[in-house]
Structure 1
């Protein structure tokens, strides 16, 4: 109930207050009238090497008109973008919300870096994302770059990077958006800004609440099953001000909380995140040197309870209580762009990120309560620097080359287990520090053959250091257990893209990209035991119907893929967009698990597609129809359990009431199709959300 009150206050209080701000002059002059205050939250323009890499831009119009409830729902319009499972973030456990691109091995940690205005958003402990704190209404645009390798991003950007640009805040303006729907769903967001001397001060808030859908189909459901109930809220405030006529700074702080009931009553998770950042941008024009500096800090807490359910699904027993998982991060990044001469430009930069975290948990419950307690965690830092030269060899040809050096260190690693009743120690492991350096690079060329046709090619390498979560924290889904591994090595990727682009000049465009990637030492959940009993090596008890896995490095994964993107106007007021991904990642080498060689990676569909039609019916009415599809994929590394293919349709319609108000309705999973998101060793299915219909009102002041 308290979240419904919060969402009401967001729209009902902040909105009118913002109107009041707008109607009062901020700076008055009797002779000249009201002075205009410019938006000063500047950003660097795209790098000269940007056209060489495969990127998809999701613009403001698409974000606002999409039927998707959450930002990750909207970005699924790009095939290959996805979380660990098919489940959207509003119905997924927080630790499974890491981003994957191109099907390069789905993991909870993800292999993709997500940034908001240059600030990393990946969880410092686990690498995943809290999508609830990134409402689509707060985002101006998203650029999804697939592959790309070494450059300004470094660690975590193994498969690519998602760059989010926050909403531009004009002084003296405000906005709000509220929607409600079935499943007792309410979402609201609002923001306002005001000018003070040369600065712009802005704030926004958001809240969400939904009873959600059941995560188990009706035929298998029991008394213990509950809907995926999700509640949360957050807010941020920032001040942007000029340092001189070409240099601007932004100071920002944010706070968010979220709670999820993960399908059964005991299985709950909670998260809290507080962060702050400073950004300084210097930019005088394309022909002058420019730079951007970001510094940030983040503090967070997380807790989760995992439960085992009996065969009749009549009782659920907590089997793992991660009652406190505190984590923190701080870091900075810097990039400078310097135009040289004769079409040559230099981009150089450096970054560092320091993270720490500990998982505190109760485990081993045979029905009479927890018997043991465990604490496991450590610290980690990663620092790197890069240089990239880009040259316009001639008016039609661009060449770019980059080199990057990174260093990393893991330290203070520990795992302590004790008897809960008397505190006596069962193990007290202090892991030796580990460290390393890695050199990566990329080289690309793009040639514009005609005004309409261009081709590009790029080769690159990259890396990803294991997260603290992968090193130290085990987890459980029902009776399936996954153990941590402190011996994990960093992942490496060596890859190449070849692509062609066609732009008709009248709105129709097409791109086609072939990629091949070799992923070395890929971290995957490897099956260790499928029969009940105590595993002597890991000291873990496997229940009946359960599976024991451990995170381990696979020597080599090879992935081939084809991406296609086509857009064309069907009429003056109608646009068709079609996207397709064929991805074939498979295990190419595994000395410890030779039976896996040749297997497809789990949680990756070979075929993924998107089809969308956007129609401006009249000057006031708009309609957007979308369909997403994916072929069969395997649930497990042994390729013994599979998830069926699916096609899902979404639709939204908007009506412009006036210059300041737009009403809309949306329907996700319009035909209520069942999406299989998981299957256990005994055949228990997990499914995605059922049909969700919402109606809302978007206001600007």
Structure 2
């Protein structure tokens, strides 16, 4: 069965590069595989799954993760400042803390952030091989924080030497050096990259702000693997990032967004080690992963936070009676120090299982179940079921139902920034349900494919920070209920003559069920289109992206349309020149109300590979 063959290639939480099937027609689109589902699966059969591979990242000329995640339907990127400003993702209307982010399978969400959200501003893509996005509740696979979905990044397996350099507008300089060796039995690689820019004012220049806010970031990492025998192997990776960003704030006496001397420094590392062992008819994986983040903000209200996380996991993969399955158990421990100097520990013990069966060559059924026992907030059982049916004529029908939960963050658990003469409310984990159905179609020649998805996501017991203007008490409480109804449309095509086209569009109706108000920073409509062309030596891509207006704190952010142009010229098999122009039409726009985005800007670069 196709799923059984795919399962043998799936990794626990370091997704390997999926090998596309080789089509008879060289212009046909390859079949894409997603592995963050624990059991490898065909993207077209998996509702809510998308994959962005290295070729797409290069085609788009994307530098940071926030630059390309905006192309994924149903994702809203919230960026407070163009260079180094806090960048967070809302998936299907869910707040940023409800998106779980993995780098080589290691959770890297910031436990000390108020909602436990991840900041994408410093996540550079030069060392990333592929990005997998799983929309909808995925707690049955990954536990807490996955109510909105999961975004998984996989770093490159290096072979040879690569050097890259780029320079351009706003005093921007970027470089990367990487080297590695890859063989059947072993592989090792290391890399370092640097990004430095003078930037623009984080606060919109249209409001009289002229001070440039710069951003500096260094990333380094290494990964390796060794095969002792067909039954025993080890692998691991480590990734480190240090960044410094100039910020704007809300100075007295007006307390409106304006130029300030605020800065934020952060340092984060993540990594894992894993032993693979075949025994008793199963493929076992024993792993230890860890992440640590420290950040300090210097402003009129300076603060410093630090947090770390460790996960010890066992997983076993197997197949029996036509069923491919994965079972496992893990222990997660998190510690964080907050603005008051308080330190809090949180922990969760979990057991999980997922399986897939194909009753016929046209029907695939999948299910996942997970039990999480938290040290402080009780236990929770979550599940997900999905089905895909090949109707014929290139049409595939698929559907999924899943539940999710999110335990209170460390900040919420100790009620950081809270003031009250009364005991703070006892918090409960947030709960979610998600439904989705999709219709996919692929042409007979394999050159065109598309998918239309409709979904609903409901979140109950959402934790909200409240302020009482009478008593001046402030605290966190389970009070809000939110719901999102949405439609996502996507397609890609090989047009011939070297041209290819990618389309994405989403309609998102996200609202607070308690008040009926639309959720902030979620545009009702967003879409993008990328037209690419590849010749013998020259390649180029034009991307046009737009968002409708969105409600924001203090007003409404206006709709916008912007375009980027990216190109590359291969001088030889080892040397390429690159060029990109961002905001081609010099559009004045904002992603977040009050924060400006760069005008037209250009960059030139060179890539060397040996």
Question: What secondary structure does 1:226 align onto?
Answer: coil
Does the 8 Å CA contact 1:98/1:111 hold for their aligned counterparts? no
The CA deviation at 1:552 is 4.4
User: Structure 2 length normalisation: TM-score?
Assistant: 0.85
Q: Displacement, 1:377? A: 3.9
Alpha-carbon distance in 1 for matches of 2:567, 2:600 = 16
Q: Which residue of 2 aligns with 1:431?
A: none
- Which digits, 9 at most, give the CA deviation of each residue in 1:113-136, with x for residues without a partner? 121222222223223335465421
One of 290, 302, 305 as aligned partner of 1:321: 302
Question: Deviations for 1:138-194, whole angstroms, at most 9, x for unmatched residues?
Answer: 111111111153432111111111122211122xx1112211111011111121124
Within 5 A, what are the aligned runs for 1:139-538?
139-170=128-159, 173-194=160-181, 199-222=186-209, 226-263=211-248, 264-281=259-276, 289-306=282-299, 318=300, 320-322=301-303, 324-341=304-321, 343-360=322-339, 374-409=340-375, 434-472=376-414, 487-506=426-445, 507-524=447-464, 536-538=471-473
Preserved CA contact (<8 Å) 2:99 2:149: yes
Q: Kindly tell me: are residues 469 and 245 of structure 1, through their superposed partners in 2, closer, same or farther at Cα, counting changes over 3 Å?
A: same
Q: Which residue of 2 aligns with 1:79?
A: 73
Correspondence for 1:605: 523
TM-score (norm 1): 0.74
Other-structure match for 1:67: 61
Change (3 A) 1:42 1:198: farther
Do the aligned partners of residues 435 and 281 (structure 1) sit closer, same or farther apart at CA in structure 2, a change above 3 Å counting? same
Q: Measure the CA separation in 1 of the matches of 2:386 and 2:175.
A: 44
Equivalences for 1:35-50 in 2 at 5 Å?
43=16, 46=35, 47=39
- 1:102 maps to 2:92: yes
- Given that 2:52 and 2:130 are in contact with CA atoms closer than 8 Å, whether structure 1 keeps it comes out as yes
Aligned-residue offset at 1:267: 1.2
Q: Distance in 1 between matches of 2:228 and 2:15?
A: 12
**Does structure 2 conserve the Cα–Cα contact (< 8 Å) formed by 1:149 and 1:442?**
yes
- 1:283 to 1:449, Cα distance in 2 relative to 1, 3 A: farther
Secondary structure of 1:326's counterpart equals strand
Could you say which residue in structure 1 is the equivalent of 2:551? 634
Q: Say whether the 8 Å CA contact 2:80–2:595 is kept in structure 1.
A: no
Q: CA deviation at 1:43?
A: 3.6
* Residue 44 of structure 1, CA deviation: 8.9
Residue correspondences, number: 558
Alpha-carbon distance between aligned partners in 2 of 1:75 and 1:162, rounded to the nearest angstrom: 10
Q: Distance in 1 between matches of 2:320 and 2:387?
A: 19
2:587 to 658, 673, 688: 673
Alignment CA distance shift 1:623-1:528 (3 Å): farther
Cα 1:610–1:230 change in 2 (3 A) is same
Gaps of 5+ in 2: 1-13, 19-34, 249-258, 419-423
Contact preservation (8 Å) 1:377, 1:473: no
Give the distance between the partners of 1:336 and 1:60, measured in 2 at CA.
Answer: 29
Query: Relative to structure 2, which stretch is displaced further, 293-302 or 644-653?
Result: 293-302
Contact kept? 2:563, 2:582, Cα under 8 Å: yes
How far apart are the structure 1 equivalents of 2:135 and 2:69?
13
- CA–CA distance in structure 2, aligned partners of residues 201 and 338 of structure 1: 28
Residue range with higher mean Cα deviation, 599-608 or 157-166: 157-166
Q: CA deviation at 1:202?
A: 1.9
Q: Give the Cα separation in 2 of the matches to 1:205 and 1:213.
A: 25
Report deviation, 1:333: 3.1
Moved more, 621-630 or 343-352: 343-352
Q: Is the 8 A contact 2:523 2:548 kept in 1?
A: yes
* More displaced 10-residue stretch of structure 1: 395-404 or 651-660: 395-404
CA contact (8 A) 1:348 1:388 kept: yes
SS in 1 for 2:76: coil
Distance 1:676 1:42 in 2: 35
Residue aligned with 1:330, SS: strand
Q: Distance in 1 between matches of 2:15 and 2:529?
A: 34
Whole-angstrom CA distance in 1 between matches of 2:231 and 2:291 = 29
Counterpart Cα distance in 2 of 1:672 and 1:488? 47
Residues 656/204 of structure 1: CA separation in 2 closer, same or farther (3 Å cut): same
Q: Which has the larger radius of gyration?
A: 1
1:125 aligns with 2:125: no
Query: In structure 2, which of residues 77, 85, 95 is the aligned counterpart of residue 92 of structure 1?
Result: 85
Larger mean Cα displacement after TM superposition, 198-207 or 488-497: 198-207
Counterpart secondary structure, 1:183:
helix
Cα distance in 2 between the residues matched to 1:135 and 1:577: 23
Is the 8 Å Cα contact of residues 271 and 301 (structure 1) preserved in structure 2?
Answer: yes
Q: Deviations over 1:534-569 (max 9, x none)?
A: x74338xxxxxxxxxx65434311110001111122
User: In the superposition, relative to structure 1, how do residues 574 and 644 fare at CA in structure 2: closer, same or farther (>3 Å)?
Assistant: same
Structure-2 residue corresponding to 1:643: 557
**Which runs of 5 or more structure 1 residues have no equivalent in the other structure?**
1-40, 307-317, 361-373, 410-433, 477-484, 530-534, 540-549, 590-596, 680-684
| Aligned pairs (5 A) from 1:615-630 | 615-616=533-534, 618-630=535-547
Q: 2:75 is paired with a residue of what secondary structure?
A: coil
Q: 1:451 to 1:150 in 2, by over 3 A?
A: farther
Aligned CA RMSD, in angstroms, stands at 2.7
Aligned residue for 1:642, secondary structure, equals strand
Does residue 57 (structure 1) correspond to residue 51 (structure 2)? The answer is yes
Name the residue aligned to 2:606: 697
Aligned equivalents of 2:569, 2:309: Cα separation in 1: 43
2:252 corresponds in structure 1 to: none
Q: Deviation at 1:472?
A: 4.8
- Tell me if the contact between 1:43 and 1:281 (Cα under 8 Å) persists in the aligned partners: no
Structure 1 position 475, deviation (Å): 7.6
Structure 1 pair 528–67 and aligned structure 2 pair: CA distance change class (3 A): farther
